[in-house]
Amino acid sequence: MFDRRVLHLARIAVVSLVLASVILVYWQTAHSAALNPFTIRPAINTQWSNSPGQAPAQADQEFIAGVSQALDLENQPAPVVQRTIDLLKRIRRGAIYDRNGRQLVVDRQGADGTWERFYNEPSLAHAVGYVSGLRIGVTGIERSYNTTLLGLDRPDAQIDQLLHRPIQGSDLILTIDTPTQRLADNALHGKQGAIVVLDEHNGAVLAMASSPRFDPNRIHEESYLHTLLAACDGTTPCQGALINRASQSAYSPGSTWKTVSLIAALDSGQVHPGTIFDFGAPVQGPNGPYYIYTVDGGVIPDPNHSERRLDLTMSYAKSANAAFAKIGDQMPADILLSYARKLGFGKPGEVSFPLEIEYTPSQIAWDTDSLYSNNLLRAATSIGQGEVLASPLNMGMVVLSVLNGGRMPIPYFVQSIREPSGRIVEATRQPGVENIMRPQTAQEVRDMMVATVTRGTGQKAAVPGLVVGGKTGTAQVGGDAAPHSWFVGFAESGGRGVVIAVVIENGGEGSQAAASIFSEIAQVAVGRLGEGAGLPPFIPGGTANP
């Protein structure tokens, strides 16, 4: 009896210990992913609105909230946070170089042996982004390439981790050309707006500037953030310094959007370059005569030219609202929408692209159904007013598709990744959008863009010695505020060229402010295309502190 009961006890005890072992293995296997360092932050889904009435303070506040919460970190269990930070502070995050080997971002070792991030090129603050105080990617390329910069996607780093050797992240080599970038940044000095410079063949980003900007080295200082947000009290228009106006903005694109209408109309066969538009008798206004297009009782004014009759080429070159309003009025909404969607314009948030930075999808209308029923809206949309909202990056991408015969490459920043061993790996490229238009259409649109600069509204954009094409835009923003000034175009020489999109908030006529800035940058940028590809010197062991 006694013996049997002791046997029972022994059995219960052994089974309990086996159970404990099983639970131990259960925690390790079923929950082993729980400790992986975070790689991705909250989507910062804010946009810069061009309506002065709206208080963008909201957007900035959300943005700041994204910073302080650094990837919902607050919602994670304390042990995960502690252990993640522990790991990340001991990793030397990869440096970031421009295409010429100039160091843009680097990790420096502090006195306590942990690493800190330092940004050498504040003009790239928006595109490159910054890492949070917890050294977890928060924005821009720092975010999209977080795992690479931490080295955690390399097998040899995992071995290092296993052997408790210090981990070194991989370096990034960007397509950015610092002289062009600085030029763009200078052009925006004292203004609000954005400039994007892309390689016309592959969409490589040579420069991306947004103004006003911020200092990524100070972003963790609370007082600095307060200063940045000082104007955002809801009474005055907010500066929105943290927003990347090049890709996160939602500006009315004005006449630059006529390129999209033109592509749709030409490619669907609705018009051809020789189609003649007769605008009828002009109306007398306080600033002289202007033409109008009437649709469903609505009137679209066309003050951009004095000719009564223009062919399609010159209608585009002179930005004739009446011609494009008519095109839009007559165009079936299905056709307009199918071309617009391929080029990135749909319902809010509908069409996005696999970009390396935060991107606010452009929109053609708040609700695409209204384009079927509302002819006036469709006509207004065709001239880039209505409810169309776009970022300079997206407008640049439209030109990219024209220059590449109907294929739109996806803009990219990272051309290659350099591992600490010195091995250089090409970055993975996203496939472009194919078959947007027939090559012939693309050629015709391209010719019309050139005509705009040679004979139309974009003459200020011309650069001696370069083939330049483009489209001006003057986006009415309502009220007494001056319109936003747009120019989107390309400049090329000897098979090399750039696409440049410029927007200056309240900058006035697109044919003036924006076109001059375009010309100034194009002059330098095309020449710079031959430069670069020089890789930064490799520092073995990764211990040098520049």
Partner 1 sequence: MEGIALILIGFFALVAFFSANAGMQVRQGLNPLTGLPGALLPPLLVMMVFAVFHYLLRALKLRSEQILFPVVCLLLIVGLVMIWRLRGPEGIWQQILRGLFPGLLAAAFLVAQPVWIERIRRRAVPIGILGLGLLILTGIFGSVDETGARLALKIGPLPAIQTSEPLKLILIIFLAWFIARQSKAAESRTSILFGRLRLPALGHLFLGVLSAGLAALSLVLMSDYGAVLILGCISITMLYAGFETRTFLDIIAIGLIMSLVMGLVLSVTWKIPAVIQYRFQAYQNPWSQEMMMVDGRSTGVTIAEGPGYQVQQAIYAVIAGGISGSGLGFGSPNYVPLAHSDFILAAVVEELGAGIGVAVLFLFAVLLLRIFRPIFRLPPGRVFDRLLLVGIGIHLFTQVFVMAGGTLNLLPVTGVTVPFLSLGGTALLTNLVEVGLVLALIRRQEDTNDHV
Q: How far is the CB of 77 from partner 1 (least distance, A)?
A: 5
Are the beta carbons of 203 and 432 closer than 8 angstroms?
A: yes
Between 1 and 43, whose beta carbon lies closer to partner 1? 1
Q: Which of 40, 42, 61, 83 binds partner 1 (CB under 8 A)?
A: 83
Position 159 contacts partner 1 (CB under 8 A)? no
Site for partner 1 in 331-390 (CB under 8 A): none
Annotate each residue in 93-132 with x if it binds partner 1 (CB under 8 A) or - if it does not, as one string.
Answer: --------------------x-------------------
Q: Which of 13, 65, 159, 533 binds partner 1 (CB under 8 A)?
A: 13
* DSSP assigned state of 343: T
> Counting runs of H as helices and runs of E as strands, what totals does the chain give?
18, 20
- Which residues, other chains included, contact 253 with Cβ-Cβ below 8 Å and sequence gap of 6+? 384, 388, 389, 390, 395, 473, 475, 486
484-494 core/surface letters (b: 16 or more CB in 10 A; e: else)? bbbbbbbbbbe
Are the beta carbons of 300 and 322 closer than 8 angstroms?
A: yes
Between 19 and 65, whose beta carbon lies closer to partner 1? 19
Position 276 contacts partner 1 (CB under 8 A)? no
Position 14 contacts partner 1 (CB under 8 A)? yes
Closest CA to 257 of 119, 365, 348, 137: 365
Among the candidate windows 27-35, 337-345, 453-461, 492-500, which touches partner 1 by CB under 8 A? 27-35
Position 28 contacts partner 1 (CB under 8 A)? yes
* DSSP assigned state of 184: H
Q: Which of 54, 68, 82, 338 binds partner 1 (CB under 8 A)?
A: 82
Between 54 and 82, whose beta carbon lies closer to partner 1? 82
| Residues in the chain, total | 546
Q: Which of 111, 164, 544, 545 binds partner 1 (CB under 8 A)?
A: 164
Between 11 and 455, whose beta carbon lies closer to partner 1? 11
Q: Which of 9, 65, 276, 299 binds partner 1 (CB under 8 A)?
A: 9
SS (H, E, C) 64-127: HHHHHHCCCHHHCCHHHHHHHHHHHHCCECCCEECCCCCEEEEEEECCCCCEEEEECCHHHHHH
Q: How far is the CB of 136 from partner 1 (least distance, A)?
A: 18
Residue type, 107: D
Between 6 and 283, whose beta carbon lies closer to partner 1? 6
Between 28 and 235, whose beta carbon lies closer to partner 1? 28
Closest CA to 54 of 359, 389, 508, 501: 389
Q: How far is the CB of 260 from partner 1 (least distance, A)?
A: 48
